[in-house]
Structure 1
């Protein structure tokens, strides 16, 4: 039952903003924008609690350093919200995201379950692209309109592009390899069509990291390829290229910048940055209150044309919840990368090269997302948290598998030091 709930949550995740999937404006006055995915999350939480109380499963939420840090971050955020008198809406948004973690801890029993969920997450994102193109042709503008917000859609794509590429090259059957590579190309084209500058920069970072890991000594080859990609995006007539050129507005870029709203966007980003800094300077401990950045932005920077969110994940968290919560969030991201590093070592010790390569893809995708988060307020994005929680569960699954094999092996195995593993396609 738990596995089917997870599958259902992932299937509707890209379409959550569809009005047909909205159940009510709120649930019992506690959960705002009550949608199908939140309903499934509540059902999953009830099942998790039942299985724990009846002794069927162990949750193990505090067994890993990332899990403990995430719980600490949630508590710090909730405490800061209480100290500032923030509305319940901001708190429940984070708490509703937290439902993913216990559901995955209970639902993913082994590496086979993890593989199914990983492939489903990628498949859902790739298969929703035709619908995204249809909405793009219907509404115009940038890809993502009518399905998702363009910038958030770009972040979801760059988060999973390295993993999709690795899975494509792992396929033994030729038609499957072509199909997966076709999906990778569609994802890359979609990032360009979103016109997201922050998403594109993060995409370059994750692709560069992946290329360097794979190329080893031939580093100049992927660098030249990515440079060629950047030049082609700028030279050919794309919304992203025009927005990138207009970002450094010169004598020939003013009209283009005005046409795509780049001038207003650049000015708003700069003003919002200073507004966020002033919020942190004014209330460094607990922030201005969870969910209040948009309302407070005009008070801290009156020259803003209208109230906006921060367009910077780290600045947004620091301004709303304080520097302590921000530091805990950054520590959590670092521990997630370290967790993936340990997972890679266990995968090598278990002689699981495919899982090792998946870990490499997750690392590169997350690195690109961390960079893009400087340009977008994406702390509530479900694709990001789904991947984060899957990495936490993966370490536990690999650790259990490793020690099970150690107990049955004639001599103990050593997973090796915790250094960042080198690419080993063999």
Structure 2
């Protein structure tokens, strides 16, 4: 199971590569059947087998984020059935749910978690040379030929704080330099994607990181933030020109038209109003899962062509209704609370490195939550992989804490409001 999970992460950045596509449709149920979906299906079969044979305990409903996530899936599925949504939208959303049970079974201890965390970061950093090669080959913005530029930027900002923390934790000098080189490459890559939403999220996550690390007098994140701002303003980057053309500064119409900013701004505004009209028209169950693009022209006829919402929250609310949207937002809040509890457990277990990892995950997620206002990223696998890892981390730390309780006469209190939500004993 562990090797299967690691294989899924290895191919994750290259999922859109045509060589990794197996078929257009698998048994009429799973569209765009790729290698990662095949591995996920095999993983689900193995999980079901191990549960039926009593080899593992899934414990999917033992945490508040897990219960809320299942509720969100059920609400989304129910709304899809009520609106007669296409099977493509339903299967695409449900396929993401394969990650959670696979991680719950595959990550059995903190050593497994560390390996997965480092692999997730390493894969994203090591794929950057290939992304640059595709950028030179196709031109445009970084991510073209590998991933969609905006989604690639979101994956980067999600993991930049964690990469920085791991870099400063390294004891060997050459490893520290290597990791910091990866961090710099990730920051430069965010700029090269030209994603305005990703850039704003990147500023937020770096600001959050500098605030969280201020007590330890670590000012490198602030310097990185200042350096990023200067590089965008001074150097002739696509992102800088797109920001200037968006109204930050003075720019001619030629620059805006050259980078498609005028059309993008107009489309974002029209799609926002289209989404609001969808919610007003069908607030309970939405217009149907996967139907925003098709319905956008009906609700806002002045749109040049049908598009997705370019706003994760608006997209979910318009397609699945306000109840599902509220459940999704609650789920995100509970994930952050779960990370707070994990941080307390890490301190109680005298695991300062894990505590700092939690800080990195929190800051990355905060940046992603902000960027999600500008991109429809509810299907992005990097995001869900990190989310599910946070759920599993609390469970692993809780198990470790109760093991300490059973072996020690007076364990350290993990802190107010941070007592375990379940007792595996």
Same fold per TM (> 0.5)? yes
Q: Secondary structure at the match of 1:23?
A: strand
The residue aligned with 1:11 is: 10
Query: 1:119-163 CA distances to partner (integer Å, 9 max, x unpaired)?
Result: 000000000000000000000000000000000000000000000
Distance 1:161 1:424 in 2: 34
The residue aligned with 1:339 is: 338
Aligned-residue offset at 1:13: 0.2
Does the C-alpha gap of structure 1 residues 421 and 100 become closer, same or farther in structure 2, counting only changes over 3 Å? closer
Query: 1:49-100 CA distances to partner (integer Å, 9 max, x unpaired)?
Result: 0000000000000000000000000000000000000001111111110000
Do residues 108 (structure 1) and 116 (structure 2) align?
no
The more displaced of 165-174 and 212-221 is: 212-221
Query: Taking structure 2 as the reference length, what is the TM-score of the superposition?
Result: 0.96
Does the C-alpha gap of structure 1 residues 239 and 385 become closer, same or farther in structure 2, counting only changes over 3 Å? same
- Verify the 8 A CA contact 2:209 2:221 in the aligned structure 1: no
Does the C-alpha gap of structure 1 residues 27 and 220 become closer, same or farther in structure 2, counting only changes over 3 Å? closer
- Verify the 8 A CA contact 1:347 1:353 in the aligned structure 2: yes
- Verify the 8 A CA contact 2:293 2:306 in the aligned structure 1: yes
Query: 1:30-67 CA distances to partner (integer Å, 9 max, x unpaired)?
Result: 01100000000010000000000000000000000000
Distance 2:104 2:424 in 1: 29
Aligned-residue offset at 1:227: 4.3
The residue aligned with 1:378 is: 377
Q: Secondary structure at the match of 1:256?
A: helix
- Verify the 8 A CA contact 2:339 2:390 in the aligned structure 1: yes
Does the C-alpha gap of structure 1 residues 177 and 131 become closer, same or farther in structure 2, counting only changes over 3 Å? same
Distance 1:3 1:223 in 2: 37
The more displaced of 403-412 and 7-16 is: 403-412
Aligned-residue offset at 1:229: 2.8
Does the C-alpha gap of structure 1 residues 423 and 34 become closer, same or farther in structure 2, counting only changes over 3 Å? closer
Aligned-residue offset at 1:208: 0.5
Aligned-residue offset at 1:215: 1.9
Distance 1:348 1:249 in 2: 43
Distance 1:202 1:250 in 2: 20
The more displaced of 358-367 and 404-413 is: 404-413
Distance 2:205 2:53 in 1: 43
Distance 1:112 1:266 in 2: 46
Distance 2:69 2:263 in 1: 36
Q: Secondary structure at the match of 2:25?
A: strand
- Verify the 8 A CA contact 2:210 2:219 in the aligned structure 1: no
Does the C-alpha gap of structure 1 residues 331 and 375 become closer, same or farther in structure 2, counting only changes over 3 Å? same
Aligned-residue offset at 1:213: 1.2
Query: 1:224-275 CA distances to partner (integer Å, 9 max, x unpaired)?
Result: 7634532331221000000000001776331100000000000000000000
Do residues 425 (structure 1) and 421 (structure 2) align?
no
Distance 1:409 1:122 in 2: 35
CA RMSD of aligned residues (A): 3.5
Distance 1:359 1:331 in 2: 20
- Verify the 8 A CA contact 2:151 2:377 in the aligned structure 1: yes
Distance 1:425 1:176 in 2: 37
- Verify the 8 A CA contact 2:65 2:335 in the aligned structure 1: yes
Distance 2:113 2:280 in 1: 43
Q: Secondary structure at the match of 2:33?
A: strand
- Verify the 8 A CA contact 2:206 2:222 in the aligned structure 1: no
Aligned-residue offset at 1:417: 1.7
Query: 1:157-200 CA distances to partner (integer Å, 9 max, x unpaired)?
Result: 00000000000000000000000000000000000000000000
- Verify the 8 A CA contact 2:154 2:371 in the aligned structure 1: yes
Distance 1:84 1:418 in 2: 41
Aligned-residue offset at 1:359: 0.2
- Verify the 8 A CA contact 2:349 2:401 in the aligned structure 1: yes
Distance 2:417 2:402 in 1: 17
Does the C-alpha gap of structure 1 residues 75 and 421 become closer, same or farther in structure 2, counting only changes over 3 Å? closer
- Verify the 8 A CA contact 2:194 2:239 in the aligned structure 1: yes
Query: 1:196-219 CA distances to partner (integer Å, 9 max, x unpaired)?
Result: 000000000000000111123979
Q: Secondary structure at the match of 2:24?
A: strand
- Verify the 8 A CA contact 2:96 2:384 in the aligned structure 1: yes
Query: 1:331-379 CA distances to partner (integer Å, 9 max, x unpaired)?
Result: 0000000000000000000000000000000000000000000000000
